[in-house]
Amino acid sequence: MHQGSGILSPRQRRLAWLGFLLAALQAPVSAWLVSDESWLFSLCVALMVATVIMADDAARRRPADAARD
């Protein structure tokens, strides 16, 4: 049984992880430095990128035969 391919290439996957980490780290720092609630935007971006990474993980774990159904 072969593993399915994901929706992201290996390079895109590394960039997605980098983007997730940067956005996730920026949110608490900007919440500490800025008095308004603009840090929530960084949190939303990090959550959206995390959703794409999880979808890629699910696609990679699916057997290659199931992708044709």
Q: What is the pLDDT of residue 1?
A: 46
Q: Half-sphere exposure of 66 toward its Cβ, with a 13 Å CA cutoff?
A: 12
pLDDT confidence band for 6 (50 / 70 / 90)? confident
Higher per-residue confidence, 21 vs 1: 21
* pTM metric for this prediction: 0.79
pLDDT digits (tens, 9 = 90+) for 15-64: 999 999 999 999 999 989 988 988 899 999 999 999 999 999 999 988 86
The answer to whether residue 66 scores a pLDDT higher than 70 is: no
